[in-house]
Chain A
Amino acid sequence: QVQLQESGPGLVKASQTLSLTCSVSGGSVASATDHWSWIRQPAGKGLEWVGRIHASGSTYYNPSLKSRVTISVDTSRNQFSLRLTSVTATDTAVYYCARGRVVFDPWGQGTLVTVSS
């Protein structure tokens, strides 16, 4: 079955860029029928959809983050990535990658990213 695993630095300095990668196994990011999403959860708060990408390169972002977010896909490595620029403490969260456009299944285990001052 499809499995996803997030990776990337757990600590990012304020004003810098957060970069995470999601490795997909058991499935292909090149699939024409699948979208691939990033979702985050600040400590003690609910989930927030960050954005998604399709293998065609089409991307859709949360309007509240759109000016700072870029999601890209690397079909040769079967991965997709998240870049979030100019981070602040409010970007500290567990970041999840997931397959899906509206229904997310499956999800990765999540990775905690802390923004330090």
Chain B
Amino acid sequence: QSDLTQPASVSGSPGQSITISCTGLRSDSIGYNFVSWYQHHPGKAPKVIISDVSNRPSGVSNRFSGSKSGNTASLTISGLQADDEADYYCSSYAGTSIFVLFGGGTKVTVL
């Protein structure tokens, strides 16, 4: 069990929007504004798509957006495309005792 909880799977049709949640189980696990999201196509290197809760690195599609409310962060993918089919992981800085936590990952399926 991860300290950050994500749904195991989310699916949607092309063109639709989906949202993946990332909930901290501990009060300190997602309290900082250092939440990142990673896209991972199996066999390839994971890629950061959101940093610092809602910042989109250069080159990342604006179809990806991030937000946070309380102890839950969210990743929204709009205009779902076939290439978005991948595993998505959230991570968060969790203080100087724990450092970095990752979620268990969410498999996104494009129907």
- A residues touching B (Cβ–Cβ < 8 Å)? 39, 45-49, 60, 62-63, 96, 98, 102-110
Min CB distance, B64 to chain A, in Å? 14
A104 and B48 contacting across the interface, CB-CB below 8 Å? yes
Min CB distance, B75 to chain A, in Å? 15
Listed A/B pairs (16) with beta-carbon separation below 8 Å:
A45-B104, A46-B2, A46-B103, A47-B89, A49-B99, A49-B100, A98-B46, A102-B34, A102-B100, A103-B34, A103-B36, A103-B52, A104-B36, A105-B51, A107-B46, A108-B45
A63 cross-chain contacts in B, Cβ below 8 A: 97-98
Residues of chain B in range 47-103 having any CB-CB distance to chain A below 8 Å: 47-48, 51-52, 57, 89, 91, 93, 97-103
Min CB distance, A82 to chain B, in Å? 15
A-B pairs with CB below 8 Å: how many? 55
Min CB distance, A72 to chain B, in Å? 18
B2 cross-chain contacts in A, Cβ below 8 A: 46
Question: Interface residues of A: mostly helix, strand, loop or mixed?
Answer: loop
A49-B102, A103-B48 known, 8 other contacts, Cβ within 8 Å: A47-B46, A62-B99, A96-B46, A102-B93, A104-B48, A104-B91, A108-B45, A109-B45
Q: How many residues of B contact A (CB 8 A)?
A: 25
Which 4 residue pairs spanning A and B have beta carbons closest together? A46-B104, A47-B102, A49-B100, A107-B45
Min CB distance, A103 to chain B, in Å? 4
B101 cross-chain contacts in A, Cβ below 8 A: 49
A47 cross-chain contacts in B, Cβ below 8 A: 38, 46, 89, 91, 102, 105
* Residue in B closest to A45 when the chains form the complex, CB atoms: B104
A108 cross-chain contacts in B, Cβ below 8 A: 45
Min CB distance, B111 to chain A, in Å? 23
A106 and B45 contacting across the interface, CB-CB below 8 Å? yes
A98 CA to B89 CA in the complex, in Å? 15
Min CB distance, B54 to chain A, in Å? 13
Min CB distance, A10 to chain B, in Å? 15
Of the listed residues A49, A60, A108, A109, the one surrounded by the most CB atoms of chain B closer than 10 A to its CB is A49
